[in-house]
Amino acid sequence: MKKVHLFTCVVLLSTIVVRADLISITASGSITNTENSSFSIGTLVEYVFEFDTDQDGYFVMGNQSYIINDRSGMDYFYAAYQGDFNLPDYNIQDMTVYYYGLELANGFTSLYGRSGSRGVQISAQSGISTWQVGTVLSGNEYSAISTSANGTVFERAYSDLIITRISRVPEPSVFVLLISSAGVLGGGFFRFQRRRKREKRPNFQ
């Protein structure tokens, strides 16, 4: 769990910069294979993720969040799907949401996005620090069609992708004006101490 440090500043006009070490990635391509789907081979798809290898990955089930701890040869980090799903929603009740990516010791890396019964995974045979425009990825989008005692039936669409855009998400600035009759007020804000894994930063413009 990240350590939180509180400090107090005394200012009249203060600019608070909220750190956002997120990287946005867009992967585009076309469907190459399907399961239980009417989607045509060759249909164009696009997936957008944001990720931060300094932050813990986690998932949500119901009202509870669960951090995914790193294990030997398995490095989990924060990732969130920002795009739209191409497959239909079959209204299967599911409260699961994914916010994580995974890099294995052999370099194989995946970003996972899921919201309820629909999700998408994009993967590459290379460590995330090497990802750049033109990197080849594979995609696996799915949507739950039905559930029973025998398991869940999914509609799936597999795709060949390449990275078409990768960039750092701009850091938002929050401007706070503190005014009092004395001209000076005390304020504070939280600063989060993140674990750093700078070697995981991808090269991008």
Calpha distance 109→197 (Å, rounded): 15
Centroid of chain to Cα 60? 13
Nearest to 119 by CA among 93, 87, 145: 87
Between the alpha carbon of residue 14 and those of residues 150, 171, 177, the distances in Å are: 59, 17, 6
Instruction: Convert the pLDDT of each residue in 31-75 to its tens digit.
Output: 999 999 888 999 999 999 999 999 999 999 988 999 999 999 999
**67 or 175, which is more confident?**
67
Residue appearing with tokens 């990275």? 163
Between the alpha carbon of residue 163 and those of residues 28, 75, 131, the distances in Å are: 6, 22, 8
Share of the chain above pLDDT 90, in %: 62
107 Rama class: left (phi>0) / alpha (psi -120 to 50) / beta? left
For the segment 12-24, the average pLDDT, to the nearest whole number, is: 54
**Given the DSSP bridges, would you call strands 44-52 and 23-35 parallel, antiparallel or unpaired?**
antiparallel
Domain boundaries, the chain: 3-200
Instruction: Convert the pLDDT of each residue in 123-149 to its tens digit.
Output: 999 999 999 999 999 999 999 999 888
Residue appearing with tokens 């620090």? 129
∠ CA 104-106-107, rounded to 5°: 70
Neighbouring C-beta atoms of residue 52, cutoff 10 Å: 20
DSSP class of residue 71 equals B
What's the whole-model pTM score?
A: 0.74
Paired tokens of 84: 């739209």
